[in-house]
Chain A
Amino acid sequence: MIAAAVVTTLLIIVLITICIVIGLFILIPLARLFKEVLSGLVDGVLFLSQQIGEFIFGLLGDITRFFGAVITILVVVPVALLNVILGNWTRASRFGHALSRECLLLGQCLWRGCIHRPLRLFMLDGLLEGLEKRVPKAVASSKKGTGGVVREQQFTGYTITGTLAGGGSGATLYVAEPDDQPRWKPQGDDHRVVIKCFALAAGSSLPQIVRESRALEAARRIGLVLEHQMDEDRFYYVMPYHAGDNLGVVIPQLHAQDNAQSGLNQKQLDQVIRYVGDLLSTLEQYHRNGLWHKDVKPENLIVQNGRAHLVDLGLVTPLRSAMTLTTHGTEYFRDPELVRQALRGVKVNEVDGTKFDIYAAGAVLYFALENTFPAHGGLSRFSKKSPEALKWIVCRAMAEYHKRYDSVAAMQQDLLLVLEAESIWDVRAADLPSMSHEEIVDEQINSKTASYPPTESPLAQGVQPARHIAVTKWLTGTYEVRGSHTIQANVESQTFTQSMRRSMRVVAVQPIQKIRHGTQVLSDRFKARTARLRDRRNARKGLAVVAVLVIVGVLVIASQDDWQTRDGIKHYSNHAAFVPEVPSHRLPNAAYNTAKPLLLINDHPRKGDPEVKQEVLNALNAQEDHRLNLARRNDDAEVALRRLAPGGQLSQLDIASDALNKLCKEHGINGLVLVEADPDGSQGGLRLLAIIPTGAIVGDSDKSTQLDDSSLVPLSNAP
């Protein structure tokens, strides 16, 4: 009996427990549901109350504003009329404006009260969004845009897909896609183009158009501009489009990564060097084609797929332009020397414009390393940790006009070495090619321009022996390069003609040195090396790939005969491929053994090219035995001589002019020796011209004579 009672009790307990559990499982969700419904209802009521409240109070506000506007109108109208009657047009006009504002407010109140608020109460205000927002925007943009001036269909062959923010030129920039058959070869997969359009009706001025158009034909030849067209009322040109951020955006992002506040790491530095390498390659292309970009800055470098593209042709100028130099450019990226020369009224062709681009490239590299602009040019401080070699490159690029890199190629070589190094931080400034090679050449040239006999440069000692060239037969031009090969240079004898005598410009020399390695080759190598390096570094992830790459790398390097290893770092050298052909003719007697030196001016268009430098050096070496007394560089004298020369062309100097004679006396020189490109050389070469004014005192101090025409010896009779 007891057992039955216990069992029954237990069963009841179990049943009750089960009921409670089931109840909990059902009741809790039900309670939650009820709570949700209740809160939803409360929210709904609140929302409705809010909507109704907003409607009522908004309506009341609109009604108040409406009556306020009516009252204002009632007050303003008589005052405005009174001013009209009194003839006070300025005030009447202002009251008129006030009236129109009040009328606008009146209309807005009516619109909101009658249409917008009732629809909003029933949540139908989305119907009005187009009318209220998009239409006014479209109307406003149609008012201030240039759509009325330049319509899409006016660019024949293109479909406009967008616009870009314009710069300071006042032009409109369109992004467009060419129609089916583009009239040029597209670059890469992206066929889009940028159309820069100047419309007179849109505020562009003729000087702007002239400035933009002066280098376009040259730019088109090298693919920077795809096509250009000038209509009656507008001018536009088409360029390849590079989608991406500019360097002014990319560099701060790089510095923000990986706690790079104290400086960039090796990977980031590699990236930065590649950007600057791309810039230099493009600049080299400009310079090789006789152009000068003039506005290199981070904002004009667009980064696309890891490559930097130089854009904005607004200030591109031909290097040989006879126009006066202008100060256009961007502060901190523009060489102060450019401003100084421009203020002096110097012509473009009287300066080496490439050097200003080099300065800007150095400033871009500084910006990349420091994430700030070079406020003090070459003296700007490096506050972040950067490799010394890169700092040196920046300082060299931004040094004084005459001390910076002579060419973009020289800067490229330095950067290439840094990029190729196993560790960027281990590269010393002394390892840079500009120090180990060009410095020496410069020193050698400088030593030649010192008073005769030249002293051997200490830097040259033990590093690279200067070639000594002994001419064995002057008639045939045969000479011997000691320590090297003997070359037969057959040079046509040149006669000192009457016309040449008149101007006393003696074309004295030259077998032509063909430039075998142009800067184009260097640029290609830079790109190729950069790509190869990238591959090599990625390959470290797998040993197998590393092994393959090492073998390939060894094979490639072994196949390059112009690479030599020193201190574990590879150096590019021009010497291996360089075979000198040296001018063997001599200048007229008047040029030698002079009491006062002759000023050496290198006017060769590629004087920055290492091979041209070497060629000049060889030419001067060839004159060694004849006691050619050359002066060190004298910038003041050079500028004065250029001003005297017609069109700045020193070869056109009139030696009979008193002004030239006086100028030479003032600067303590007997004349000048001009180095320039050989006009007969199809691919390069140089010639020396001796320009000595009539009346100059020639001969050494013991035996000096005053120069006149009769003292000139025709070149063919020179001993």
Chain B
Amino acid sequence: MPKRIGIVGAGSIAQIHMDRWSRMPDVELAGYYDIDESAAQRAADRFGGQVYPSLEALLDDVEAVDICTTATAHREPVLAALEAGIPAVVEKPLSRHLADCEAIVDAQARTGTPLFVAHVVRFFPQFAQAKAVVESGAIGQPGVIRTVRGGSAPGGGGWGSQATARSYYGDFEKSGGVILDVGIHDIDFQRWCCGEVERVFARGLMFAGKEPKDHALIALRFASGAIGHIEASWAYPPGRFRTRLEIAGDKGIVEWDSLAPAPVQAILQGEDDPMDVQSRTSSPTAPEDDPFYAELAHFVRAVDQGRSPQVSAYDGLMAVKIALGAIESERQGKPIAIQP
């Protein structure tokens, strides 16, 4: 019997998740609940399954739930799933607000219901391999870790050009701006590699009145003594998304840059106009190595085998705490201590 998955919140990230679920063997998209019923209906039309009239109706009918609501609307469905004993995926950040994260961590510990926070960067093969290199001891003890995750503003012509995307991401009260939406990927990755963070200092554009543009340069200090730097950007020119990582240890260094030459490079001339020259590059992987597919497959495997998913509610909470600390640092111009 295929495992029946329910989707709560059929918005932008859900489109990617639903596509990956639909490709997975032994999984069935049972249906969708969204406060905007037309969004749930569009998902049902595209991927099959039903539209549920309520969150409760969905939870009654599924074996696992994937919560893709906005970061301000995670608390209610996550708590409901945990209380109902339905294993849940929740999109990052765990919540816009720390109090929600704490309530979720408490409920998860009390109910024991499996919860996976979808920090997908851990499942990007480059980043997963870098973590494996650190674990292998090849670079010794990590000392300075630097990562970059930069693109253009959502709705700013680069991506997510719908007005709804612009109004959500551009409203920093809801989205938490580039730090909580983008920088949190790197906060979680760096914490995964280097352990707990003691303090954070950040400068950026969050309070510069340039919405939806945002940009942050974040400095972290880890309990191990390691130092972290994160650039998170919604202020690059459109079409220039870039990620980069380097981890320097006392025995070596590991580096990767998305600007490295891609394995496939094509230069094609137009059939009718030979002066019409198009270049494209791509860096394909096997379907199961797609990071979104890999994270969801990991969740299913972990639940089936009774193991804890790799990113815990506590990991999700700490990433939010550090991100909110970075925002607070930007506001106050002071370093912010992070309490475990």
Q: Do A and B come from one complex?
A: no
Where the two chains meet, the residues of A that have a C-beta atom closer than 8 Å to any C-beta of B are none
Where the two chains meet, the residues of B that have a C-beta atom closer than 8 Å to any C-beta of A are none
